[in-house]
Amino acid sequence: MLEFSAQQIAMMIHGQIEGDASVTVHNFGKIEEATAGQISFLANPKYEAFLYTTAASIVIIGAQQQLKEKIKATLIRVPDAYAAFATLLTKYQELKTQQLEGIQSPSFIAPSAKIGANHFIAAFAYINEGATLGEHVKIFPNVVIGENVKIGNHVTIYPGVVIYADCVIGNHVTIHSGTIIGSDGFGFAPKEDGSYQKVPQLGNVVIEDHVEIGANTTIDRATIGSTIIRKGVKLDNQIQIAHNAEIGTNTVIAAQTGVSGSTKIGDNVMIGGQVGLTGHIHVADGVKIAAKSGVTKTVKTANVTLTGNPAAEQKQSLRSQVYVKNLPELEKRVQELEILVQQLSQKA
């Protein structure tokens, strides 16, 4: 169990201590539920009341936070409490994984595979011929690394991940459980008799640096060339990225979104949950797409917000929704006018 003093934590997050600098914590807790020996934080004003009742030993708060009552906990003041707490969680996670080293048994590592220093290979992992793993790579149980896969430094791959042959993983990448990288793209050519002929998928998947991929996400290999996930991309759980798609730098995508084949998404795009993007389109940089939207055409304008199905710019889509909502009343008025016109015609 890892344990830190308030002094050590303040150094990690560049904070100022108010209270006992020697008090120690060994775990994290929500401010309304934390107990002695835990650290918490206050970022949302609606939870301020818990600051005066919490049993947490240390609480991270904003530098401008005004105290209305006496506080039992040791406080660490920082410019942004939420960001500081996130930094602390990241450092804690890194320290925990750094403790894992060596090769557990049973696991299989092909003779031609190359593994860098400070690695951890868990039991029941399978590393195929020609695979290359960099330094500080952590492979958890039941991970399968295919032939000639290249993995960079400081990569963590959680249980049950499968990376097919020839795929490339960059540095500082995290891949969560159940994710499949490099499975065949959905390529089938229709035949005259109504059946389908499979189109061989000969490409790969390239994942650049500082990418995080959620659980049970699937990224298909390209038919020819590469499916590309650019630097800094964050993918949620249960996302489908189809063959030859490209996701731009620092784009974030929420759960259950599907990106169809050969679609190119720009940099710094934000995509909500359950969004569908049709194939062979482009999405400009900085676009925001609301949850459950359906994007069927190329988006050429940068930094717009889209919503609806088919997706349109937010103001236009909201106006359309109002019109649709009013259709029953409009239909009723049209019917009344038709009756009135008919009556006037009969009198003429």
Instruction: Give 10-39 pLDDT, tens digit per residue.
Output: 999 999 999 999 999 999 999 999 999 999
Angle between helices 6-13 and 81-98 (to 10 degrees): 110
Indicate the residue among 78, 98, 118 that finishes a domain: 98
**CATH assignment of the domain containing 94:** 3.40.1390.10
174 within some domain: yes
116 within some domain: no
Tokens of 263: 């679609």
Burial class (CB in 10 A: 0-12, 13-18, 19+), 85: buried
Phi, psi (rounded to 5 degrees) for 325: -60, -35
Instruction: Give 55-69 pLDDT, tens digit per residue.
Output: 999 999 999 999 999
| Eight-class DSSP state of 299 | B
Instruction: Give 166-217 pLDDT, tens digit per residue.
Output: 999 999 999 999 999 999 999 999 999 999 999 999 999 999 999 999 999 9
106 within some domain: no
Domain that holds residue 54: 4-98
Instruction: Give 120-135 pLDDT, tens digit per residue.
Output: 999 999 999 999 999 9
Evaluate if pTM is beyond 0.85.
no
Catalytic positions, please?
A: 243
120 within some domain: no
pLDDT tier for residue 1 given thresholds of 50, 70 and 90: low
Instruction: Give 82-132 pLDDT, tens digit per residue.
Output: 999 999 998 888 887 777 889 999 999 999 999 999 999 999 999 999 999
217 within some domain: yes
**Are residues 187 and 243 in contact, defined by beta-carbon separation less than 8 angstroms?**
yes
Structural domains counted in the chain: 2
333 within some domain: no
* In a shared domain, residues 165 and 43: no
* In a shared domain, residues 53 and 190: no
| Residue reference for tokens 């019917």 | 335
250 within some domain: yes
| Residue reference for tokens 């389908």 | 196
* In a shared domain, residues 210 and 301: yes
